[in-house]
Amino acid sequence: MIFLFVSAHPDDLEFSCANLIRYLAQKGHEVKILCLTKGEFGIFDQDWIGPRLARIRVQELQKAAKINAIPPEKIFFGEFIDGFLKFTSESVSEIISWLNRLQPDIVFAPEAFYAYYFQTDHINCGKIMYYIFQSCQDRLLKPIRSLFFYNTLNPNFWWPFNDSTLGKQSFLQHRSQWWFIRWIMLFYSLDKVNFWWKRLGPWKYAERYRRISKISVVHNNTAEISGDDTLIKITNSDSMDSMNSNNSSIGSMIFNRILSLISHLPAFNPTRERYKVEKASSEFAQKIEKLCDRFYPE
Ligand SMILES: [Zn+2]
């Protein structure tokens, strides 16, 4: 059984999935990580933006994953650029070829619909995986058996644990992101507290996931899933409101609301201004200009 954890940026997994990843790897399962960008715009300092920051962040993820028992050779990096992961047919094809290379049975991706973190790369990553899972399985050499979303407001699967030390430690390996992580860190435990009504037994904490059920009718870029009291429409638009957080604990609800507000701040929302490159290599600068012309035209 091969498990694949897909993320948009190098620091996305440790907050939400560290304990499950470590458990699976230590149990001898094959666990792979596919990070679609290298987080090239993860800080605002022009001296670091681009390939220089990318190199650092690759190493940070390798260090973090090592704590969770994943060796560097199980970590793969896509060619997308931070801020430019879009839900297009090209990205779908690109990720399908990754899936055909890595051949996972079970895939984890960021929540696309019941999300609380609205960074567009995250949302698009979730949408692409959802779209592939629901309607492109015929293009996969090996079908995906299950898709799970992490960072979800609407969990239906909990991964319980008692000791948060290693999870926190792995998250803290992303040193270049401390400007952000030191605030998020305040919520690490609160986000996962197992309140007694969650019926998870004696466990102190739990990571939250939403397991996606397969649907039958899909056409073009539009899919519809209905079941329970859920109706989700998937479209090629970037705005998808979160709803229905009644499955979360109070701790995670507080955290989710705060992060949701933060993720709507201009700093987290791609604009042409946000992706100004002054000091990076000219090759990188040219690439960014082209991407900006396409996705953030003036
Ligand atoms: Zn991210």
Q: Tens digits of per-residue pLDDT, 208-221?
A: 888 887 654 444 44
pLDDT > 70 in the chain, percent: 85
Distance in Å, CA 12 to ligand 1 centroid: 5
How far is the centre of ligand 1, averaged over its atoms, from the C-alpha of 226 (Å)? 29
pLDDT for residue 248: 55
> Has residue 253 got a pLDDT over 50?
yes
Burial (Cβ within 10 Å: 0-12, 13-18, ≥19) of residue 103: middle
Taking the alpha carbons of 58, 61, 65, 67 in that order, is the dihedral positive or negative? positive
Cα of 125 from ligand 1 centre, angstroms = 10
Q: Pick the more confident residue, 212 or 175.
A: 175
pLDDT on residue 196: 60
So what's the pLDDT on residue 215? Answer: 58
161: which strand partners?
A: 205
Which residues have beta carbons under 5 A from ligand 1 (an ion)? 9, 12
Average pLDDT, the chain: 84
Rg (CA), the chain: 18
- Is pLDDT above 70 for 106? yes
DSSP code at position 136: -
What does the domain layout of the chain look like in residue ranges? 2-267
**Cα(109)–Cα(105) distance, rounded to whole angstroms?**
13
Determine the pLDDT at residue 235.
35
For 2-267, CATH gives 3.40.50.10320
The model's confidence at residue 156, banded by pLDDT at 50, 70 and 90, is confident
Please tell me which residue, 31 or 229, carries the higher pLDDT value.
31
∠ CA 240-189-146, rounded to 5°? 50
* Ligand 1 centroid distance, CA of 113 (Å): 16
Please give the distance, rounded to the nearest whole angstrom, from the Cα atom of residue 199 to the centre of ligand 1. Answer: 30
pLDDT at res. 204? 87
Query: Is residue 242 very low, low, confident or very high in pLDDT (cuts 50, 70, 90)?
Result: very low
Q: Residue 201's pLDDT band (boundaries 50, 70, 90)?
A: confident
Q: For the full predicted model, state whether its pTM sits above 0.75.
A: yes
231 forms beta bridges with 226
